[in-house]
Amino acid sequence: MKYFNPEVETLPLDKLRQLQDGRLQKLAAYLYTQVPFYRKQWDEASLRPSDIRGVNDLYKLPFTRKHHLRENYPFGLFAMPVAETIRLHASSGTTGKPTVVGYSRKDIGIFSEVVARSLVASGCRPGMKLQNAYGYGLFTGGLGLHYGGELLGMTVIPVSGGMTERQLLLLQDFRPEVICCTPSYAQRLSEELAARGISPEQLNVHTAILGAEPWTEAIRTQVEAGMGVKAVNIYGLSEIIGPGVSNEDYEERGTGSYIWEDHFFPEVVDKDTGEPLPEGEYGVLVFTTLTKEAMPLVRYWTNDITSIYYEHSEKRTHIKMGPIRGRADDMLIIRGVNLFPTQVEDVIKDFNQLMPSYQLIVSRDGAMDSLAVKVEVKEDVLRALGRPNLQQPPAALPDALRTLHGALGRKIKESIGLTMAITLVEPGSIPRSEGGKLNRVLDLRKSRN
């Protein structure tokens, strides 16, 4: 089994475009009659649904942004009566009210199908057991993977996030072939396995499906070695449907994730001007849902920074997206330099004495912002050096660590353009994921004002 939906996943591009164009025309007419928000927005721009004949006309339409969802809280953007929906979800929303999304029965069918496609791309097959360690609840991760797994014919183990002891017990006793969770939680599980002396060979798991937060090749390497799996990326957001908007193919790991573009039409636009960018350029990812009924969104500004490109792979025709560098609002601006935390992670991965566990600490030093990074040294390195005290100033550290400290500082300066205060710390001393998304930035500027 190579595909969940072979016909659509391999549809020639001209046919795919025709399908998208037809779906978009219908969507425009539907939204214009059903959702006052869109009618008003398009009237103000002097646009009629008939002006939208296909995806090439999308650029004419205004963006929909997160604040529009908040302003229409909770159900104002629904295109059908709430009574006709069969499920509601909400994104965690760190501040204020959550963003609410609704699903019709058909929407849940689409959600399940795109997750099933994603699972097959990840290397899952009917009959395999899926340990679902995404949170169940208003967050779309848990139920999203659950329904997709069932549709594919997997045996789903709905353990939910966290409860590390139980996760380890089930991994050993139920012997699932597949686990899905956040990448930071997979790091945590890898470390807990090692701490208990459980080797990957004692487990049956061969695939880890990781998403819901940015991650890099460094984490892939750690998790693949630590759990004995192939780690693949799943991406999504509740506003568009949930996880399964795009997914990596396990045989093409590291080359990007296929976007199921018969349902979710992607654009990448300049984060300042909103102008569409050519294939391969980095900008904000924007989606139009082509088939959803309960709460379709037009040109939704995800705030996620990535690029999209056709790879002309033999396996599928759909466009791919690269890894998410971060959300536009996660971008730190330190002394005029733009920085995503994942850029630091990328530098760390080249030092095999270091763990891919780090924390960035932003503070204000007078009028200047400054950035410090804490990074963990591997256990075996410290053991070989006779467990030196890492609390002492860098100059007093053993030669090997002093050299490492200097080299890391130079590499960061060279590739990011910033001088950062670096502290080497003991393995395990930086906060770990409790089962959900992990924030790797401690911003002391925010707590002061």
- Interface with ligand ADP by CB under 6 A: which residues? 91-93, 139-140, 211-214, 233-238, 302, 304, 324, 327
Instruction: State the nearest-atom distance from the C-beta of 446 to ligand ADP, in Å.
Output: 18
Of residues 221 and 363, the one with the C-beta less far from ligand ADP: 221
d(CA 95, CA 258): 31
Q: Taking the CA atoms of the chain, what radius of gyration do you get in angstroms?
A: 23
Of residues 324 and 401, the one with the C-beta less far from ligand ADP: 324
Instruction: State the nearest-atom distance from the C-beta of 147 to ligand ADP, in Å.
Output: 16
Sign of CA dihedral 233, 237, 238, 239: negative
Q: Which residue from 186, 243, 195 is spatially nearest to 219, judged by alpha carbons?
A: 186
Of residues 89 and 188, the one with the C-beta less far from ligand ADP: 89
Instruction: State the nearest-atom distance from the C-beta of 115 to ligand ADP, in Å.
Output: 13
Bridge partners (DSSP) listed for residue 64: 300
Bridge partners (DSSP) listed for residue 246: 235, 259
Taking the CA of residue 27 as centre, how many other CA atoms within 13 Å lie in the half-sphere pointing to its CB? Answer: 27
Taking the CA of residue 420 as centre, how many other CA atoms within 13 Å lie in the half-sphere pointing to its CB? Answer: 33
Taking the CA of residue 433 as centre, how many other CA atoms within 13 Å lie in the half-sphere pointing to its CB? Answer: 25
**Could you give the 3-state DSSP secondary structure of residue 174?**
coil
Instruction: State the nearest-atom distance from the C-beta of 132 to ligand ADP, in Å.
Output: 15
Of residues 212 and 408, the one with the C-beta less far from ligand ADP: 212
Instruction: State the nearest-atom distance from the C-beta of 97 to ligand ADP, in Å.
Output: 12
Residues whose CB falls within 8 Å of the CB of residue 32, separated by 6 or more in sequence, listed in order: 38, 39, 42, 48, 49
d(CA 412, CA 401): 16
Of residues 210 and 354, the one with the C-beta less far from ligand ADP: 210
Bridge partners (DSSP) listed for residue 88: 102
Residues whose CB falls within 8 Å of the CB of residue 106, separated by 6 or more in sequence, listed in order: 291, 293
**Could you give the 3-state DSSP secondary structure of residue 123?**
coil
Of residues 318 and 405, the one with the C-beta less far from ligand ADP: 318
d(CA 205, CA 335): 45
Of residues 108 and 212, the one with the C-beta less far from ligand ADP: 212
Of residues 49 and 341, the one with the C-beta less far from ligand ADP: 341
d(CA 362, CA 150): 44
Query: Angle, to 10 degrees, between the axis of helix 164-173 and the axis of helix 183-195?
Result: 70
Instruction: State the nearest-atom distance from the C-beta of 193 to ligand ADP, in Å.
Output: 23
Instruction: State the nearest-atom distance from the C-beta of 257 to ligand ADP, in Å.
Output: 7
Contact 377, 401 (CB under 8 A): yes
**Could you give the 3-state DSSP secondary structure of residue 79?**
coil
**What amino acid occupies position 159?**
V
**What amino acid occupies position 172?**
Q
Q: In the sheet that 368-377 helps form, which strands lie side by side, from edge to edge? A: 421-425, 368-377, 354-365, 441-443
Of residues 107 and 213, the one with the C-beta less far from ligand ADP: 213
Instruction: State the nearest-atom distance from the C-beta of 28 to ligand ADP, in Å.
Output: 25
Instruction: State the nearest-atom distance from the C-beta of 330 to ligand ADP, in Å.
Output: 8
d(CA 413, CA 109): 49
Instruction: State the nearest-atom distance from the C-beta of 336 to ligand ADP, in Å.
Output: 25
Instruction: State the nearest-atom distance from the C-beta of 71 to ligand ADP, in Å.
Output: 17
d(CA 167, CA 425): 27
Of residues 91 and 370, the one with the C-beta less far from ligand ADP: 91
Of residues 93 and 398, the one with the C-beta less far from ligand ADP: 93
